[in-house]
Amino acid sequence: MSPDGATRAAIPVSFTLNGKPVTVTTDPVRRLTQVLRDDLGQTGTKVGCDAGDCGACTVLLDGAPVCACMVPVGRLEGHDLRTVEGLAAEGVLDRLQRAFLRFGAAQCGICTPGMLMAAGALLAETPRPTEAQVKDALGGVLCRCTGYRKIIQAVMAATDLDSHTPQAAVGAAVGSRIERLDGNPKVTGADRFGADTAPEGSLVVRVIRSPFHRAAFDLGDLTGFVAAHPGLVRVLTAADVPGRNLHGVIPDMADQPVFAVGETRYKGEAVAAVVGEAEAMEALDLADLPVTWTELPAVLTPAEALAEGAPRLHDRRPENTLMRGLVQRGELAEGFVAAAHVVEGEYSTGFIEHAYIEPEAGYARRVGDRIEVVACTQAPYMDRDDVAAILGLPKDAVRIIPTAVGGGFGSKLDLSLQPYVALAAWLLDRPARITYTRPESMASTTKRHPSHITARIGADADGRLTAMDFLGTFNTGAYASWGPTVGNRVPVHASGPYVYGAYRARSHAVHTNCAPSGAFRGFGVPQSAVAQETLFDELAERLGIDPLDFRLINALDNGSPTVTGQVFDTGVGFKDCLRALKPHWERARAEAAAANAAHPDGPRRGVGVAGMWYGCGNTSLPNPSTLKVGVKADGSLVLFQGAVDIGQGSNTVMTQICADALGLPVDRFQLIHGDTDLTPDAGKTSASRQTFVSGKASYLAGRDLRAQILRLTNASDGAAIDITAEAIRVSEGGTTSTIPLAGLKADAEGFVLMGQGTFDPPTSPLDANGQGEPYAVFGYGAHMVELAVDTRLGTIKLIKLTAAHDVGRAINPLLVEGQVEGGVAQGIGLALMEEFVPGRSENLHDYLIPTAGDVPEIETLLIEAADPLGPYGAKGIGEQALIPTAPAILNAIRHATGARVRHLPATPGTVLRALKDAGHAPVETPDHG
């Protein structure tokens, strides 16, 4: 015990770590995770929540899985501890690790160590487990990327896994189910995420945040506070920002301060940041800082923000209106007159939290007159530009090096931690790191926009859509973030991939005192699809037309105009998706009817379908990508791949594309990814653009290098290329030409040849009526859900989900399935359980995301209606996969029971209320007798 009692005496603790004895001397109450990661450098064990809610820190204590974040290290004395680092003996992966790679069970990889440890404990007792046993064993580890299905498959198959790894032949990389190329470190725990990389001795930064939705504040005597606390170095505030105290993903709308000035606009907004030595920071209680808060009246919903006299969040935005969007085509009134049936409805969805398992983390260091930020991000070049503006530096004085990203889904497009570590490192000239806590991550970073939607749709007697009128009001939170993008994208997409006689869609993004709503997989389209696709089922019922047939009647096709008047001559694969579902649909509807007839008192079975489309890339804005691929003097082949892989697989996909374009096998490539000093700008990982846009750039880069090589020998495009350590060989018609590498001039970086490709998808601006060509390509798809409704409790049991997606060309079907399954899982969450309530659900036990037990069997049907622009015909899939899940679930609930759920999430209570409205579940009023 220290004399003042402020710290707890360190004691030596000896235990066995992965078979080797270790002794640490430390405060015995510290969490085992802290000691493993900070003291022993074993960062394979991840921290997702520090509360036992996510299981990312699962380790085996005497063989039993436990959450290391809740184990006092003092308790380890004499015990046996196993972590992910101990799985691969002598560097050879064990069967379970190999199965994870084979089945695509690791996407971003942040949950993978915990999954492996939990699964390993199961397999030690039960080598060939059932699916139910696997789910029980993995139920305590959350995954936000995979939808769990491939993890479950991998665990079930691990014991009997063969040793044959799928290989792709030269020229056949595209379309092959090869394992992800960056998978190995994800299953060994060696991958370095934001919290795993800081230099020894880095300062630690923590942010002081508003405890109220809106508050005035007084920061008090911060200098005195620092002086009174040995080990603290400085408290940073708005006055310390050398450049612009603002950031924002849309440059001319930047409105979010690094540190609030005067008052805060949402709960969780930063006002200051404390910087200090690690030990002092660990002992610091942020509540001790001399900050006084004065809560101010706040507006939390658009209705409140639009009310007369409501406080205005931003002076330059009257009526708290960030923007309005519009797409209209045809004569709306005439369209409704022509309708034989008109349906309408009012819908709402809440804030959705991205809930990646990796809270934001990273570090920065000053290198002379430059600053380097090493952090998790989806958008390195955008980060660079905003960090430069904040520090008042030229852009080329900022280097962004993305770490492995433990899930992004849109939120890691915005700056979060970067300004705080950059400021600290810049001003103090020492490396500075930060790791957000789970509540901090949830309170302060962007969310999916809550929506309030009214829609009205009409069809003629033949079932053809005559008109749709849509109004979506979106709670865009305190700052602009991606609000304008959502507001622009929704009117274009609210129609779904269907042909209308007339159409009008309006959007309205309204500021409130909530966390900024930003980008989240689908940019508002999942919300609008809920309204449109469920109204379609009501319309089909009025018309007496089968819901799948109704969609086929109205489906967009090659040559038919979209609601913005855009016409695609080829590559519209939506009808193919619906047709692919048809046999499944007929089987499932028959099975549901038979089950309901056989068990009249049992749960009600139902089947629902919903369609979707999604434009790949920015809406009517340039979004170019550039990739390079070069040959070094030693014959090595390097792909400069700036499309950040946040788990979706761009490292692998870009390489597969480039391999075939160049004519060399995938395993020849070395990758340099996402470093703004090294890789050209491949844009942001969002909007389902990387496979389509960066993939095309990768294709062009590969073709460019190939053409350069062929020119050296005057060979035709039919020639085969080989590169050895000494020479490039080009073979054609039985003859081989050899180009010695020593004879080629190397550039400063050692490259003798460099191919480059740039692609910017062609779009055109939308006019005042939203007419134009917003995207160069759309992805299309449809989901079919089979489920059972417990009509007395309102609970839903999902039985199976069948997903048909037109991806143009599946570059890697294993990865595409992973995207689909992960999207479906997020769609399930949106439909059934997720709702972020600011101030109330800033943790992963009040905010629920699906567990391994909540995602049913998923069958993916890949449709390949090639896009003429995409690489090998490919389109995007990332966001497509989430959009139709929720409406398909709602349609299946309605098919099962007649209940109409229009306000998400469809929690048991919400469903039970809808069931009663539909005449189910006789109301039993307590008589209190």
* Burial state string for 564-585 with b = 16 or more CB within 10 A and e = fewer than 16: bebebeebbbbbbbbbbbbebb
Both structure tokens of 466: 């005559």
Assess contact for 915 and 794: CB atoms under 8 A. Answer: yes
CB of 250 to other proteins, least distance (A): 32
Tell me the C-alpha distance between 329 and 284, whole Å: 60
**Active-site residue identified among 85, 353, 834, 879:** 879
Q: Are strands 795-806 and 727-732 parallel, antiparallel or unpaired?
A: unpaired
Return the range that interacts with other proteins (CB under 8 A); candidates 53-61, 527-535, 613-621, 739-747.
53-61
Closest CB to other proteins among residues 711, 928: 928
Tell me the C-alpha distance between 589 and 271, whole Å: 56
CB of 126 to other proteins, least distance (A): 13
Task: Supply φ then ψ for residue 239, to 5 degrees.
Answer: -65, -20
Closest CB to other proteins among residues 8, 177: 8
Chain residues 832-861 in contact with other proteins, contact rule CB under 8 A: 832-833, 835, 837, 840-841, 845-846, 848, 850-854
Tell me the C-alpha distance between 793 and 788, whole Å: 12
- Per DSSP, the three-state class of 80 is strand
CB of 904 to other proteins, least distance (A): 12
Residue from 17, 47, 48, 55 touching other proteins (CB under 8 A): that is 55
Q: 221: exposed, middle or buried (C-beta count within 10 Å: 0-12, 13-18, 19+)?
A: exposed
Closest CB to other proteins among residues 207, 804: 207
Tell me the C-alpha distance between 15 and 77, whole Å: 5
Closest CB to other proteins among residues 436, 482: 436
Return the range that interacts with other proteins (CB under 8 A); candidates 64-72, 95-103, 556-564, 686-694.
64-72
Closest CB to other proteins among residues 561, 856: 856
- Per DSSP, the three-state class of 200 is coil
Return the range that interacts with other proteins (CB under 8 A); candidates 277-285, 381-389, 521-529, 753-761.
277-285
Task: Supply φ then ψ for residue 279, to 5 degrees.
Answer: -65, -40
Q: Is 919 in the site for other proteins (CB under 8 A)?
A: no
Q: Determine whether 842 is an active site residue.
A: no
Provide the edge-to-edge strand list for the sheet that holds 502-511.
321-329, 502-511, 465-477, 451-459, 341-349
Chain residues 81-120 in contact with other proteins, contact rule CB under 8 A: 118
Assess contact for 813 and 864: CB atoms under 8 A. Answer: no
C-beta atoms surrounding 67 within 10 Å: 27
Closest CB to other proteins among residues 1, 92: 1
Token pair 């759309």 in the structure block, residue = 778
User: Which are the contacts of 661, defined by CB distance < 8 A and separation ≥ 6?
Assistant: 698, 699, 700, 701, 702, 703, 706, 871
Give the up-direction half-sphere exposure of residue 422: CA atoms within 13 A in the CB hemisphere.
33
Closest CB to other proteins among residues 485, 791: 791
At position 226, the amino acid (one-letter code) is V
Cα dihedral 486, 492, 496, 500 sign:
positive
Return the range that interacts with other proteins (CB under 8 A); candidates 446-454, 617-625, 707-715, 908-916.
908-916
CB of 236 to other proteins, least distance (A): 19
Q: Is 929 in the site for other proteins (CB under 8 A)?
A: yes
CB of 439 to other proteins, least distance (A): 7
How many residues bind other proteins (CB under 8 A)? The answer is 75
- Choose among 516, 521, 514, 485: nearest CA to 407: 521
Q: Is 924 in the site for other proteins (CB under 8 A)?
A: yes
Return the range that interacts with other proteins (CB under 8 A); candidates 72-80, 123-131, 293-301, 814-822.
72-80
Assess contact for 467 and 457: CB atoms under 8 A. Answer: yes
Residue 214 CA, chain-centre distance (Å), reads: 29
Q: Are strands 795-806 and 857-863 parallel, antiparallel or unpaired?
A: parallel
CB of 75 to other proteins, least distance (A): 6
x/- map, 766-795, other proteins, by CB under 8 A: --------------------------xxxx
- Per DSSP, the three-state class of 306 is helix
Residue from 58, 441, 566, 713 touching other proteins (CB under 8 A): that is 58
Chain residues 2-21 in contact with other proteins, contact rule CB under 8 A: 5-9, 11
Residue from 598, 600, 734, 925 touching other proteins (CB under 8 A): that is 925
CB of 772 to other proteins, least distance (A): 43
CB of 443 to other proteins, least distance (A): 12
Residue from 1, 92, 598, 748 touching other proteins (CB under 8 A): that is 1
Residue from 90, 285, 315, 462 touching other proteins (CB under 8 A): that is 285
Chain residues 125-164 in contact with other proteins, contact rule CB under 8 A: 135-137, 139-142
Residue from 20, 164, 711, 928 touching other proteins (CB under 8 A): that is 928
Closest CB to other proteins among residues 143, 502: 143
DSSP letter assigned to residue 423: H
Chain residues 637-696 in contact with other proteins, contact rule CB under 8 A: none
Q: Is 185 in the site for other proteins (CB under 8 A)?
A: no
How far from 598 is each of 593, 791, 795, 919, CA to CA, in Å?
9, 16, 20, 21
Closest CB to other proteins among residues 140, 770: 140
Both structure tokens of 897: 């029971």
CB of 885 to other proteins, least distance (A): 16
CB of 14 to other proteins, least distance (A): 14
Q: Is 599 in the site for other proteins (CB under 8 A)?
A: no
Assess contact for 287 and 279: CB atoms under 8 A. Answer: no
Tell me the C-alpha distance between 818 and 109, whole Å: 13
Chain residues 433-472 in contact with other proteins, contact rule CB under 8 A: 437, 439-440
User: Which are the contacts of 567, defined by CB distance < 8 A and separation ≥ 6?
Assistant: 559, 560, 561
Closest CB to other proteins among residues 8, 900: 8
Return the range that interacts with other proteins (CB under 8 A); candidates 47-55, 217-225, 375-383, 869-877.
47-55
Tell me the C-alpha distance between 254 and 192, whole Å: 31
Give the up-direction half-sphere exposure of residue 256: CA atoms within 13 A in the CB hemisphere.
34
CB of 350 to other proteins, least distance (A): 11
Return the range that interacts with other proteins (CB under 8 A); candidates 341-349, 696-704, 895-903, 909-917.
909-917
Chain residues 888-907 in contact with other proteins, contact rule CB under 8 A: 905, 907
Return the range that interacts with other proteins (CB under 8 A); candidates 242-250, 513-521, 681-689, 921-929.
921-929
Chain residues 806-835 in contact with other proteins, contact rule CB under 8 A: 832-833, 835
- Per DSSP, the three-state class of 113 is helix
x/- map, 20-39, other proteins, by CB under 8 A: -------xxx-x--------
Chain residues 538-557 in contact with other proteins, contact rule CB under 8 A: none
Say how many residues make up the chain. Answer: 929
Both structure tokens of 752: 């003798």
Closest CB to other proteins among residues 37, 493: 37
Q: Is 600 in the site for other proteins (CB under 8 A)?
A: no
Q: Identify the bridge partners of residue 628 per DSSP, sorted by sequence position.
A: 640, 756
Question: CA-based angle 267:268:271, to the nearest 5?
Answer: 110
Closest CB to other proteins among residues 579, 800: 800
CB of 614 to other proteins, least distance (A): 27
Closest CB to other proteins among residues 281, 643: 281
Q: Which H or E run contains 98?
A: helix 95-102
CB of 282 to other proteins, least distance (A): 7
What is the Rg, in whole angstroms, of the alpha carbon atoms belonging to the chain?
28
- What amino acid positions are annotated as catalytic residues? 879
